[in-house]
């Protein structure tokens, strides 16, 4: 273990920063080919129907339509899917959600094609739309994918201990149901991809806003029936993803590739915002039922959890998203008796898949709300109740895994957060002050939709009583990387040049999070260089091994591990070479620091790194290496949900302070103190940025964001109605890092991106409870939820906020 660092843990300026502040960075839509064509989608305005006939006669001879691509043009498999194969590249049998695409018009004039797309005629047999996930498993429910025999995408049971005995040993039982909403990723860059036919080697090149180039390659190769090597996917600069530019982009890549090979010309697809929101997948809405038994001292004895996730029209990542939920649904607590069932079902709603958090924000909202309810019931403070139950070193998790071989810093992050915010005192003070529930709120919460919702003059509340302060916390543990849900290994390629500068690239993707810089720091630290010596290459599936997807906050841990290994391979070769050159003992350790290499025992023996490389190069030393970082073994028994789900964990605690306006339902987040153990911080600037960004997204999830749909049709298609936070909407955010030791990852560095987001909504909800004296069960805690304790939905689908 290295004690002091030259770069690691310090604020380092992004490597790609220069190109991004000058407008020179090339995002997918900034790339054009002179003879490129555009692809424009044809959709049918229905959520569920059998397709009988698509009639292009009115447009197929139009001079601007160069070709029309449909399922018939797919030489390989038209059915794609990362886990379960159920999503057509082009629909030809059924429409199962309004985002579905039946054909793509290809031509030079994109705008004209958009108009022509509306002239495609069709015959369909409408089918009943299934939009309520609670009805998906009814015996008379219409089947979304009849070949699956059921609308059940996946069911994960978890059984630990004896749930009935656990409840019988409990002094108290709480039973509550929580719901969370559908939300959009809200990346500012809409989806764009270009496919370029490479006639000479009968292959196709794809450049796009693609989160996972290797997955895109697999889907494209499968659709075109080509060997993987004939599909090269290059990632353009990516304008935000948050888990959202995977499945959609894979299918878009396949459509573009089909058209490119068909026409022999480059084909670009670029989505407008409305199309992006319509077709792309979202975060799962969950219905979460928790029954928790506990002793009068506050010790949890049993948890029975039932979770239903709306997977929408396609399976997408539902099997993995809900798997994380089942593993983590109890929260970071020691519970002897657990019985959890998580199900994901098909509906005709927009499909749901990966989004930052990935099956954790939903159960955390429910479980952390319930922890506070238990505290309230027992007259304890929220931190006390967590203290009594929380995981520590040697604890057994709900999946039967013993937490060991790393710092289990849960109590440490909790204590740090509590101290930094003077939590217990503040919480108690707010609770006492906010004890009375305003008559106004009592009345509006009890109201039904008729004239009685008008207030009488005595209901009106003096202005100074309306603003309420509250404080709340939420705690989590999070399994790092993919866990038992997937194959877990990553690669990095590092090539030192004879002048001492070096190329670096990993098979993971820069999605804006700052991965290139983090990896460059790791390589530079290992070789004693500065970040400027490293040139990070653009990711292309042709130049580096498949490293799995850039998801699950695994980049620093897995890819960073691979970079460190690659750098160490080269360093070891240089060390060996220099020991020979300087005639030192093989055991002598050389220091690589400040662009120099020197012997600790003999300070005379010093060379600049560039000189060493020059010498080694001339002597035929291989200065390039591939680092391969395989994830340690995990195991899982799917029938009972038991096993070592993840090889290591990170821990976090966020405290939110809010002001609630009871007269309007506005919640303002005054401050969030976010305490996280990410293992080791590599780039302080980047780590802080993850916290600011994650907390802000979490606040949006907690308070404003919601995609509502009626009959499967989305109402909010653009940023005039999708309320992601602006610069004015969230108060102070205070990142605090409690670093823990771990044998995995570069110097113990693990995960941070998702932990920062998953806690915020839950912490805010607990702060609101503290402020209002009422528990809210349904996200988002928007204006109507606070004032009425229910959601209001417009009847029609018209845009804009009319009355």
Partner 1 sequence: MIPKIEYFSPVNLTELLKLLDRHQQAAKIIAGGTDIIAGFHQGSARFKGIKYLIDLNWIDELKKVELSSDGIVIGSAASFSEILKNELINHHFPLLSTAASRVGSVQIRNRATIGGNFVNNAPCADSVPALLVYDAEIRIRSVEAERAVSLADFLLKPYQTQLRSDEVVTQIRLPFLSENYLGDFYKLGRRRGVAISRITLAVLMKLVESKIDDIRIASGAVTPIGKRFVSLEQFARGKTVSDHLYRELARMLGNEILDATGLRWSSAYKLPVVQQTFYQQLQHIYQTGNLR
Partner 2 sequence: MTIELNFTINEKKITLKTEPNRRLLDILRQELNLTGTKEGCAIGECGACTVVMNGKAVNSCLVLAPQINGAEILTVEGLEKDQRLHFLQENFLKHGAVQCGFCTPGMLMSAYALLSKNPNPTEAEVKEAIAGNLCRCTGYKQIIDAILETEGDIK
Burial of 491 (0-12, 13-18, 19+ CB in 10 A): buried
Which among 56-64, 92-100, 141-149, 680-688 is the span making contact with partner 2, rule CB under 8 A? 680-688
Would you count residue 450 as binding partner 1 (CB under 8 A)?
yes
Q: How many residues bind partner 2 (CB under 8 A)?
A: 56
Among 462, 487, 603, 618, binds partner 1 (CB under 8 A): 462
Q: How would you classify the pairing of strands 337-346 and 300-312?
A: parallel
Distance, in Å, from the CA atom of 225 to the CA atom of 267, rounded to the nearest integer, reads 19
Q: Any bridge partners for residue 300, and if so which? A: 294
Q: Which of 156, 440, 609, 649 lies at the binding interface for partner 1 (CB under 8 A)?
A: 440
Let me know if 505 is exposed, middle or buried by CB neighbors in 10 A (0-12, 13-18, 19+): buried
Distance from C-alpha of 497 to C-alpha of 503, rounded to nearest angstrom: 8
- Window of 155-163, 210-218, 633-641, 663-671 that interacts with partner 1 by CB under 8 A: 663-671
Task: Please report how close the Cβ of residue 699 comes to partner 2 at its closest, in angstroms.
Answer: 9
What own/partner pairs with CB < 8 Å and gap ≥ 24 does 226-231 have? 226/76, 228/541, 229/203, 229/542, 230/201, 230/202, 230/203, 230/204, 231/203, 231/204, 231/206, 231/257, 231/541
Tell me: does residue 439 bind partner 1 (CB under 8 A): no
Task: Establish if 685 lies at the interface with partner 1 (CB under 8 A).
Answer: no
Residues pairing with 80 in the sheet: 87
Segment near partner 2 (CB under 8 A), from 47-55, 101-109, 556-564, 721-729? 721-729
Site membership for partner 1, residue 793 (CB under 8 A): yes
Q: Report the partner that residue 797 touches, choosing among partner 1, partner 2, none (CB closer than 5 to 8 A by kind).
A: none
Task: Please say whether the beta carbons of 770 and 470 come within 8 A.
Answer: yes
Q: Is residue 415 classed exposed, middle or buried when 0-12, 13-18 and 19+ CB atoms within 10 A define those classes?
A: middle
SS3 assignment, position 220:
helix
CA-wise closest residue to 280 among 311, 249, 258, 320:
249
Minimum distance, C-beta of residue 751 to partner 2, in the bound complex (Å): 17
Among 387, 668, 692, 777, the residue binding partner 1 under the rule CB under 8 A is: 668
Out of 1, 200, 454, 487, name the contact with partner 1 by CB under 8 A: 454
| CA distances for 678 relative to 61, 293, 488, 758, angstroms | 59, 32, 19, 14
Handedness of CA 699, 704, 710, 716 (dihedral sign): negative
Q: Measured on CA atoms in the order 785, 788, 790, 791, is the torsion positive or negative?
A: negative
Whether omega before 780 lies within 30 degrees of 0, making that bond cis, reads yes
| Tokens encoding 799 | 């845009």
Residue among 530 and 659 whose Cβ is closer to partner 1: 659
Query: Residues 721 to 750: which contact partner 1 by CB under 8 A?
Result: 723, 725-729
The smaller minimum CB distance to partner 1, of residues 40 and 313, is found at 40
**Contact with partner 2 (CB under 8 A): which of 532, 580, 600, 720?**
720
Measured distance between the N- and C-terminal CA atoms of the chain, rounded to whole angstroms: 63
**788 sits near partner 1 (criterion: CB under 8 A):** yes
Among 298, 686, 748, 755, binds partner 2 (CB under 8 A): 686
Strand partners, 627: 492
By the rule CB under 8 A, 207 interacts with partner 2: no
Q: Which stretch, 347-355, 455-463, 565-573, 575-583, contacts partner 1 (CB under 8 A)?
A: 455-463
Distance (Å, whole) CA 31 – CA 406: 45
685 counts as binding partner 2 under rule CB under 8 A: yes
Which positions from 11 through 40 interact with partner 2, judged by CB under 8 A?
11, 13-14, 16-27, 29-30
Q: How far apart are CB 704 and partner 1 at their closest, in Å?
A: 6
Q: Which is nearer to partner 1, 139 or 457 (CB)?
A: 457
> C-beta of 19: minimal distance to partner 1 in Å?
25
Segment 68 to 127, residues that bind partner 1, using CB under 8 A: 111, 114
Q: Which is nearer to partner 2, 30 or 637 (CB)?
A: 30
665 binds, options partner 2, partner 1, none, Cβ within 5 to 8 A by partner type: partner 1
Answer yes or no: are the C-beta atoms of 723 and 784 closer than 8 Å: no
Q: Report residue 397 as tokens.
A: 């998790």
Question: Residue 799, interface with partner 1 (CB under 8 A)?
Answer: yes
Strands (E) across 74-210 are located at 79-80, 87-88, 94-95, 103-107, 121-126, 152-160, 172-179, 192-198, 203-208
Choose the contact partner of 27 out of partner 2, partner 1, none; CB within 5 to 8 A by kind: partner 2
Which entry of partner 1, partner 2, none binds 186, CB below 5 to 8 A by partner kind?
A: partner 2
Q: Which is nearer to partner 1, 643 or 731 (CB)?
A: 731
* Closest CB to partner 1 among residues 13, 188: 188
> Using CB distances below 5 to 8 A depending on partner kind, what does residue 692 bind out of partner 2, partner 1, none?
partner 2
Minimum CB distance to partner 1 smaller for 227 or for 795 = 795
Residue 107 touching partner 2 (CB under 8 A):
no
79 touches 85 (CB < 8 A): yes
Closest to 628 measured CA to CA, from 485, 498, 487, 479? 487
Q: Give the separation between CA 449 and CA 6, rounded to whole angstroms.
A: 64
Name which of 361, 319, 358 is nearest 342 in CA terms: 319
Q: Which of 188, 198, 622, 640 binds partner 2 (CB under 8 A)?
A: 188
Binding site for partner 2 (CB under 8 A): 11, 13-14, 16-27, 29-30, 185-190, 237-242, 272-273, 511-514, 685-686, 688-689, 691-697, 718-720, 724-728, 730, 733
Binding site for partner 1 (CB under 8 A): 111, 114, 272, 274, 440, 443-444, 447, 449-451, 453-463, 466, 663-666, 668, 704, 718, 720, 723, 725-729, 782-784, 787-788, 792-795, 799-803
């Amino acid at each position: 273990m290295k004690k002091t660092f030259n770069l690691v843990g310090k604020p380092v300026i992004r490597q790609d920063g220069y190109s991004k502040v000058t407008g020179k960075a090339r995002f997918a839509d900034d790339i054009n080919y002179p003879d490129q064509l555009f692809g424009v989608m044809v959709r049918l305005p229905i959520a569920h129907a059998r397709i009988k006939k698509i009639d292009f006669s009115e447009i197929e001879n139009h001079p601007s339509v160069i070709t029309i691509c449909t399922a018939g043009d797919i030489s390989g498999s038209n059915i794609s899917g990362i886990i379960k194969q159920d999503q057509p590249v082009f629909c030809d049998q059924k429409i199962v959600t309004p985002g579905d695409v039946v054909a793509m018009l290809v031509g030079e004039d994109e705008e004209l094609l958009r108009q022509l797309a509306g002239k495609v005629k069709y015959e369909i047999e409408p089918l009943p739309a299934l939009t309520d996930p609670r009805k998906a498993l009814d015996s008379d429910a219409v089947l979304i994918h009849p070949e699956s025999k059921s609308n059940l995408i996946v069911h994960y049971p978890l059984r630990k201990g004896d749930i009935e005995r656990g409840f019988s040993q409990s002094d108290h039982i709480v039973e509550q149901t929580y719901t969370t909403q559908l939300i959009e990723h809200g990346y500012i860059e809409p989806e764009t991809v270009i496919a370029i036919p490479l006639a000479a080697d009968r292959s196709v090149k794809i450049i796009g806003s693609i989160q996972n180039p290797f997955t895109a390659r697999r889907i494209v190769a499968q659709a075109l029936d080509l060997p993987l090597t004939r599909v090269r996917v290059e990632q353009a600069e990516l304008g935000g993803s948050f888990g959202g530019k995977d499945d959609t982009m894979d299918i878009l890549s396949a459509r573009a590739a089909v058209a490119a090979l068909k026409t022999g010309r480059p084909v670009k697809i670029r989505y407008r915002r409305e199309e992006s929101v319509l077709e792309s997948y979202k975060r799962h809405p969950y219905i979460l039922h928790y029954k928790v038994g506990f002793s009068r001292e506050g010790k949890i004895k049993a948890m029975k959890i039932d979770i239903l996730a709306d997977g929408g029209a396609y399976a997408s990542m539902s099997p993995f998203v809900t798997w994380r939920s089942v593993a983590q649904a109890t929260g970071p607590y020691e519970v002897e008796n657990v019985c959890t069932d998580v199900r994901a079902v098909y509906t005709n709603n927009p499909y749901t898949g990966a989004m930052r958090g990935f099956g954790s924000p939903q159960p955390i909202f429910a479980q952390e709300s319930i922890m506070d309810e238990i505290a309230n019931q027992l007259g304890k403070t929220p931190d006390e109740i967590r203290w009594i139950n929380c995981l520590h070193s040697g604890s057994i998790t709900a999946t039967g895994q013993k937490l060991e071989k790393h710092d289990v810093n849960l109590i440490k992050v909790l204590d740090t957060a509590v101290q930094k915010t003077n939590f217990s005192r503040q919480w108690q003070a707010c609770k006492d002050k906010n004890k009375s529930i305003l008559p106004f709120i009592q009345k509006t919460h009890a109201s039904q939709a008729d004239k009685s919702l008008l207030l009488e003059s005595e209901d009106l509340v003096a202005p100074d009583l309306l603003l309420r302060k509250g404080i709340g916390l939420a705690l989590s543990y999070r399994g790092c990387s993919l866990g038992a849900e997937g194959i877990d290994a990553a690669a990095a390629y590092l090539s030192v040049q004879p002048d001492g500068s070096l190329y670096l690239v990993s098979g993971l993707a820069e999605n804006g999070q700052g991965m290139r810089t983090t990896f460059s720091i790791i390589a530079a630290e290992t070789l004693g260089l500065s970040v400027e010596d490293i040139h990070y290459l653009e990711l292309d599936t042709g130049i580096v091994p498949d490293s799995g997807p850039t998801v699950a906050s695994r980049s620093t841990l897995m890819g960073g591990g691979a970079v460190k290994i690659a750098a160490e391979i080269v360093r070891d070769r240089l060390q060996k070479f220099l020991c020979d050159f300087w005639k030192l003992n093989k055991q002598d350790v050389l220091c690589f620091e400040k662009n120099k290499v020197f012997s600790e025992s003999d300070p005379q023996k010093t060379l600049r790194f560039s000189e060493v490389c020059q010498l080694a190069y001339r002597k035929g030393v291989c200065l390039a290496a591939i680092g391969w970082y395989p994830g340690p073994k995990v195991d899982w028994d799917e029938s009972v949900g038991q096993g070592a789900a993840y090889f290591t964990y990170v821990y976090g605690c966020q405290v939110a302070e809010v002001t609630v306006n009871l007269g309007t339902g506005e919640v303002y987040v005054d401050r969030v103190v976010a305490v996280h153990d990410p293992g080791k911080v590599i780039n302080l600037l980047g780590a802080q940025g993850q916290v600011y960004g994650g907390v802000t997204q979490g606040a949006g999830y907690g308070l404003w964001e919601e995609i509502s749909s009626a009959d499967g049709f989305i109402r909010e298609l653009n940023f005039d109605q999708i309320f992601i936070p602006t610069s004015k909407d969230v108060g102070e955010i205070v990142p605090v890092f409690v670093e823990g030791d771990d044998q995995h990852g570069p110097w113990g560095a693990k995960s941070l991106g998702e932990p920062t987001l998953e806690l915020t909504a839950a912490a805010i909800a607990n702060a609101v409870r503290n402020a209002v004296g009422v528990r809210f069960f349904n996200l988002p805690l928007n204006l109507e939820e606070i004032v009425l304790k229910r959601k209001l939905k417009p009847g029609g689908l018209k845009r804009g906020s009319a009355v």
